[in-house]
Amino acid sequence: MRLSAFYLPTLKEDPAEAEVVSHKLMLRAGMIRKLTSGIYIYLPMGLRVLSKVADIVRQEMNRAGAQELLMPSVQPADLWRESGRWDDYGKELLRFTDRHDRDYCLGPTHEEVITDLVRGEVRSYRQLPVNLYQIQNKFRDEIRPRFGLMRGREFLMKDGYSFDKDEEGANTSYQGMYDAYVRIFSRLGLRFRPVEADSGSIGGSFSHEFMVLAETGEDTIAVCSSCDYAANLEKAVVAYPEVGDIPACPECETVNTPGAHTVDEVATFLKVEPKAILKTLLFDVDGEPVAALVRGDRELNDVKLKNALDAQNVTLADPEQVKAWTGAPVGFAGPVGLKVKKVIADVELRQNNSWIAGANAADAHIRNLDLNRDASVDVYADLRNITESDPCPKCGQSLELTKGIEVGHVFKLGLKYSKAMNATFLDENGKEQFMIMGCYGIGVSRVIAAAIEQNFDENGIYFPPPIAPFEVALLLLSPKDEAAREKAYELSDLIESTGADCIVDDRDERPGVKFKDADLVGYPLQLVLGGKGLAKGVIEAKDRRTGEKTELSLDDFVAAFTAWRDQIRSGWETR
Ligand code: ATP
Ligand code: MG
């Protein structure tokens, strides 16, 4: 390919609209342009990357036995009414009506459509399992579209769905997709971890998120320093030692704490550490008042709370509810004499007593509170976020909290959609059964942003070779020199004959511009053809990631090039 005939509008300055590196670099490198909030045009260079990512995903899905189909983006509301999500999905679902006043939405995901398809075709256990996927644009009216392709409103997703006749089959399908994902993200050249994620009512380890490790990630994950344990915050279980002997707690007493609302204010006022305080958080749980207790220095995890209560909707109480349930303004709630339906406490609170907690009266707290003696706790559960000082729940060694970008998700759905939409089959005994489903997503466009977040320097991107827009760039320093030009095109053909794609920068531009653009766009292998080298019979070669330079002989070019390329490719794999 010749760059002189390629549409590559690069930008010298950082665009003001972009906050994160990947977004800035994709705009500067002429890969994407914004059409409107969260909606992007892929320019030719960006589309090449997108297609390469999609191809790798497709190859591995096919290899794992899944089959590709293509479903429409426009979906009838009736299917969503059947599943119950027309009401539940909220504002991320973009809804509209046609000229006949019929309701539709733009698909944010395709469980309804695929379940409708399969229930109409599959009658017998003999037709199962079925595993279908597509690579298709999704639309989600995200509340805060941001970071370019990272969180768009329209974005490219690979979504797959499996249908099985029994648990064993469903688990095999799940594992098959999990394994395919490990291969996909390895082939894409990413540093990633599959992490256990919350699987809600299904339970067990049947939800994994695939996280690309990058500081700009929106998710926090707990990763063990010595074993393979990795989990996101809502799933990472805090492990505690056995409860030892706890000294007796003196009588409790009320103390005045004028104006001290927050844990820190109370701790400062009473000259104690925040961990001596009991934090009482009030929630509206499916319409009922519930108090959740955690140690003052801890963070409550909403998903853990929701699961522990087996609840649908958990929302923090508003000041009026707080007033009604505690008789006090916000900041003075405590478990003693509280008018709530249920009190749930973090298991850690069993490890100690003599707490300080709100007295359910303005400007007052209670000291020497013994939860067993002075209050009544209905349930103890793991409610708080894990920290770096907690041990790994699997092996007991130390944990690290890191940031990740979710690029994929495998999830066992169970009977959620098959029950709601009546997707059944006849089993071996002629009995009607619901199909057991799984769903498997990859954010194909988000992968590009994640790859860049992991691989950039002050000059631009360095793409992993498998997804670079071109693996090789050949910079022709004197495009007006006819012989050099011919040589460049000839070398480019030779390079392509070895199975690497190559772009020749034959534009009428200064060498400096070419070097800058090549580093910005991030071709991992760069060759520079200049007059001096040509005379000496060599071409200069640079590894974009390490900056290492070498010379390749023009006499035996194919052999020299192939050896150099293979060395760079394997450098990426063992990085
Ligand atoms: P998130 O928590 O980031 O909103 P999600 O749980 O809504 O993700 P899924 O419904 O599991 O995501 O979608 C499958 C994959 O699609 C995700 O793993 C992610 O890589 C990608 N994805 C989801 N939302 C977006 C978006 N707004 N822009 C780009 N990619 C997205
Ligand atoms: Mg989402």
Q: Kindly give the distance from the C-alpha atom of residue 156 to the centroid of ligand 1, in angstroms, as a whole number.
A: 10
Predicted TM-score (pTM) of this structure: 0.89
533-570: string of b/e by CB count within 10 Å (b at 16+)? Answer: bbeeebbbbbbbbeeeeeebebeebeebbbebbeebbe
pLDDT score of 241 = 83
Give the E-state strand segments of 415-493 in sequence order.
424-426, 432-434, 436-443, 456-457, 460-461, 472-476
As a dihedral over the C-alpha atoms of residue 203, residue 204, residue 210, residue 215, rounded to 10 degrees, the angle is 80
Residue nearest atom 26 of ligand 1, based on CA coordinates: 151
Question: What number of CA atoms fall less than 13 Å from residue 73's CA on the CB side?
Answer: 15
| Contact yes or no for 281/292 (Cβ under 8 A) | yes
Q: What is the Cα Rg of the chain in Å?
A: 29
| Contact yes or no for 461/520 (Cβ under 8 A) | yes
How far is it, in rounded angstroms, from Cα 525 to Cα 468? Answer: 10
How far is it, in rounded angstroms, from Cα 32 to Cα 13? Answer: 15
DSSP state of 369: E
Residues forming beta bridges with residue 379, ordered by sequence position? 344
Question: What number of CA atoms fall less than 13 Å from residue 322's CA on the CB side?
Answer: 21
| Contact yes or no for 242/435 (Cβ under 8 A) | no
Helix (H) or strand (E) holding 156: strand 154-164
How far is it, in rounded angstroms, from Cα 508 to Cα 477? Answer: 9
pLDDT score of 203 = 64
pLDDT score of 293 = 97
Beta-carbon count within 10 A of 284 CB: 17
Ligand nearest to the Cα of 155, by number = 1
Token pair, residue 317, equals: 């109480």
Q: Kindly give the distance from the C-alpha atom of residue 15 to the centroid of ligand 2, in angstroms, as a whole number.
A: 26
How far is it, in rounded angstroms, from Cα 71 to Cα 52? Answer: 21
The answer to whether the CB of 441 is under 6 A from ligand 1 is yes
* Short-list 297, 151, 285, 304, CA closest to 235: 304
Token pair, residue 463, equals: 């793409």
522 to each of 186, 467, 527, 543, how far by Cα in Å?
19, 11, 13, 10
Token pair, residue 112, equals: 């309804």
Q: Kindly give the distance from the C-alpha atom of residue 142 to the centroid of ligand 2, in angstroms, as a whole number.
A: 8
Residue from 192, 406, 445 whose mutation best tests the ligand 1 pocket (most atoms within 8 A of CB): 406
pLDDT score of 204 = 67
Q: Kindly give the distance from the C-alpha atom of residue 76 to the centroid of ligand 2, in angstroms, as a whole number.
A: 21
Residue nearest atom 1 of ligand 1, based on CA coordinates: 406
Mutual orientation of helices 482-497 and 557-573 as an angle, nearest 10°? Answer: 60
Token pair, residue 13, equals: 């300055």
* Short-list 523, 549, 539, CA closest to 490: 539
Residue nearest atom 25 of ligand 1, based on CA coordinates: 151
Ligand nearest to the Cα of 141, by number = 1
The answer to whether the CB of 306 is under 6 A from ligand 1 is no
pLDDT score of 170 = 97
pLDDT score of 243 = 86
Token pair, residue 184, equals: 């996909």
Nearest atom, ligand 1, residue 442 CA: 15
Token pair, residue 409, equals: 């998700």
Residue nearest atom 8 of ligand 1, based on CA coordinates: 406
Token pair, residue 395, equals: 């092996």
pLDDT score of 280 = 97
pLDDT score of 202 = 63
How far is it, in rounded angstroms, from Cα 377 to Cα 375? Answer: 7
Residue nearest atom 11 of ligand 1, based on CA coordinates: 409
**Bond before 129 cis per omega within 30 degrees:** yes
Residue nearest atom 29 of ligand 1, based on CA coordinates: 151
Q: Kindly give the distance from the C-alpha atom of residue 550 to the centroid of ligand 1, in angstroms, as a whole number.
A: 42
Q: Kindly give the distance from the C-alpha atom of residue 196 to the centroid of ligand 1, in angstroms, as a whole number.
A: 16
490 to each of 249, 263, 486, 496, 528, how far by Cα in Å?
86, 72, 6, 10, 14
Q: Kindly give the distance from the C-alpha atom of residue 64 to the centroid of ligand 1, in angstroms, as a whole number.
A: 22
Ligand nearest to the Cα of 441, by number = 1
Nearest atom, ligand 1, residue 145 CA: 27
The answer to whether the CB of 110 is under 6 A from ligand 1 is no
The answer to whether the CB of 409 is under 6 A from ligand 1 is yes
Report the chain (575 residues): mean pLDDT per 10 consecutive residues: 96 92 98 97 98 98 98 98 94 97 98 98 98 98 96 98 97 98 97 88 81 91 92 90 87 94 94 96 96 97 94 93 93 92 96 93 95 94 96 94 96 96 98 98 98 97 98 96 95 98 97 97 97 92 97 96 97 86
3-state helix, strand, coil in the chain (%, to 5): 35, 30, 35
| Contact yes or no for 381/271 (Cβ under 8 A) | no
Residue from 211, 446, 448 whose mutation best tests the ligand 1 pocket (most atoms within 8 A of CB): 446
Close Cβ partners of 5 (under 8 Å, ≥ 6 residues apart): none
How far is it, in rounded angstroms, from Cα 147 to Cα 404? Answer: 14
Q: Kindly give the distance from the C-alpha atom of residue 151 to the centroid of ligand 2, in angstroms, as a whole number.
A: 9
* Short-list 62, 48, 51, 59, CA closest to 7: 48
Residue nearest atom 4 of ligand 1, based on CA coordinates: 151
Q: Kindly give the distance from the C-alpha atom of residue 446 to the centroid of ligand 1, in angstroms, as a whole number.
A: 8
Ligand nearest to the Cα of 234, by number = 1
Beta-carbon count within 10 A of 91 CB: 10
